Amino acid sequence: MQNQTERTSDVIASDRVEGTVVYGADNAKMGSVDKVLIGKRNGQVTDAILSIGGFLGIGDEKHSIPWSKLNYDTELGGYKLDVDEEEIRNAPRFDPNDTDRVYDREYQTRVYDYWTATPYW
Q: What does pTM read for this prediction?
A: 0.84
Q: Rg (Cα) of the chain, in Å, rounded?
A: 14
Q: Evaluate whether residue 23 is within a structural domain.
A: yes
Q: Evaluate whether residue 19 is within a structural domain.
A: yes
What is the CATH number for 87? 2.30.30.240
Report how many domains make up the chain. Answer: 1
Long-range contacts of 85-89, Cβ-Cβ distance < 8 Å, separation of 24 or more: 85/24, 85/28, 85/30, 88/24, 88/30, 88/31, 88/50, 88/52, 88/63, 89/52, 89/61
DSSP 31: E
pLDDT tens digit sequence for 15-71:
889 999 999 999 999 999 999 999 999 999 999 999 987 665 566 889 999 999 999
Q: Evaluate whether residue 121 is within a structural domain.
A: no
